[in-house]
Amino acid sequence: MARLLTPRFALLTAADLGYFTAVGIAVHTLPLYVTGPLHSTKAAAGVAFGAFAISALFLRPLAGRLTDRLGRRPLLLGGAALAAAGLALTAFATDLPAVIALRLLLGVAEAAFFVAGFAALVDIAPPDRLGEALSLNSLGLYLGLAAGPPLGEVLAQRSFATAWFAAAALCLASALAVLPMGETGTPGQAASTKLIHRPAVGPSAALGASLAAAGGFLAFSALRAQEIGYENTSLPLFLYGATVVVCRLVFAKVPDRVPPLRLGAIALAVIAAGLALTAVPHLLIAGSVVLGVGVTFSTPAFFAAIFATAQPHQRGAASGTASAFLDLGLGGGPILLGLVANVSTSAALAAGGGIALLGCLWTIRLRRAH
């Protein structure tokens, strides 16, 4: 069996850990920052949270093309450095338009880093262990999302500026991890000329539904916990991330053994059930754990289905296409559900479960078509 755990794999995972711990800090801090010092509404918090997706959505396909033409490393370095600048400048933002402008800048960074990171991972991973590679590499992402919110809570108690500067420093650490990794692709050699990799659109749409549902939880779980009376408002986010990390370790080989669209449909059904539980006050914690179980399998399943449609010189384009739907989910979900959250955060979480259920039905249809 080909070796998976190489120095390059470890460096890429470390870079992801730094970057997404910074994202985790922002996930917890941003809604409280907008509704606290900036004196804006919950709907405004949803808009600010999802604003990064507007720029990222349009730039992901371009980032995919640049990843195939210029290589993975330049976009990983540039994305991490730009994210560091955007997060540091957020400490100086004194009104909602400034925060939204910086979130748009972070969308540019996200497009470059995320697209190049997934293309590099597929370059590095043995083809017959891609699902396992996606599961293990994503530990950096979910450890970051698990550790970032409680870290953000501790830092924000000192000051919001401290939280933003710490997040920026983590992004710089991520860039340093990329430096010795080297280039993993073959820049410019028969690179895809298409911005959209059409065979990837179907499974990417299902991925977007799973992330729209999860994005609503990320945006509003801290506010929901605050409403219920939790002293530790980051607890649901921590348990969600920790559940994903543990399950990804224990079940890392499952995505290589179950057909990806079948696994994706099951995962979406579990996500829908988890969000339905979070809408019930005394079941917020249980729902956070169930949601984490569903998300454990959804991303590896759908990315395996997406990259199965791409040749090596099309991996950047496939990653860009998938990432565009990721932005529609993580950005559009909080914005749409934010309108509901302005009336009731419980209803917003339940509506997120409805989105996941629709995604499950779409995935079943895709699987039958295949």
Per residue in 177-196, pLDDT (tens digit) is 999 988 876 766 555 556 67
pLDDT band of 11, cuts 50, 70, 90: very high
As a whole number of Å, the end-to-end CA separation of the chain is: 29
Distance in angstroms (rounded) separating the CA atoms of residues 38 and 30: 10
Provide φ and ψ at 15, rounded to 5°: -65, -40
∠ Cα 304 308 309 (to 5°): 130
Reported pTM: 0.71
Handedness of CA 299, 301, 302, 308 (dihedral sign): positive
Q: What is the mean pLDDT of residues 223-250?
A: 86
- pLDDT at site 86: 94
Distance in angstroms (rounded) separating the CA atoms of residues 77 and 54: 22
| Residue 85 pLDDT exceeds 70 | yes
User: CATH number of the domain at 7-180+196-369, please?
Assistant: 1.20.1250.20
Contact 312, 130 (CB under 8 A): no
Q: Does residue 230 or residue 105 have the better pLDDT? A: 105
| Residue 290 pLDDT exceeds 80 | yes
Distance in angstroms (rounded) separating the CA atoms of residues 177 and 163: 21
pLDDT band of 1, cuts 50, 70, 90: low
Using left for φ > 0, alpha for ψ between -120 and 50, and beta otherwise, residue 190 falls in left
Question: Structure tokens of 194?
Answer: 């298409």
Question: Which range among 135-149, 243-257, 293-307, 343-357 shows the weakest confidence by mean pLDDT?
Answer: 135-149
Q: What is the mean pLDDT of residues 288-296?
A: 94
Distance in angstroms (rounded) separating the CA atoms of residues 66 and 333: 27
**Closest residue by Cα to residue 98 from 51, 53, 56:** 51
- pLDDT at site 175: 94
Contact 120, 184 (CB under 8 A): yes
Q: Does residue 170 or residue 300 have the better pLDDT? A: 170
Distance in angstroms (rounded) separating the CA atoms of residues 128 and 193: 27
Q: What integer best gives the mean pLDDT of the chain?
A: 86
As a whole-number percent, the residues of the chain with pLDDT over 90 amount to: 36
Q: What is the mean pLDDT of residues 115-123?
A: 86
Q: Does residue 38 or residue 164 have the better pLDDT? A: 164
Q: pLDDT per residue over 311-367, tens digit each?
A: 767 777 777 787 778 777 877 888 888 888 888 889 999 999 999 999 999 999 998
| Residue 226 pLDDT exceeds 80 | yes
Q: What is the CA radius of gyration of the chain?
A: 19
Question: Structure tokens of 121?
Answer: 């991972």
Distance in angstroms (rounded) separating the CA atoms of residues 173 and 17: 10
Q: Does residue 17 or residue 54 have the better pLDDT? A: 17
Distance in angstroms (rounded) separating the CA atoms of residues 289 and 267: 13
Angle between helices 315-341 and 284-307 (to 10 degrees): 150
pLDDT band of 103, cuts 50, 70, 90: very high
| Residue 221 pLDDT exceeds 90 | no
Question: Which range among 66-70, 149-153, 159-163, 292-296 shows the weakest confidence by mean pLDDT?
Answer: 66-70
Contact 327, 56 (CB under 8 A): yes
Distance in angstroms (rounded) separating the CA atoms of residues 37 and 54: 24
Q: What is the mean pLDDT of residues 82-107?
A: 91
Q: Does residue 19 or residue 227 have the better pLDDT? A: 19
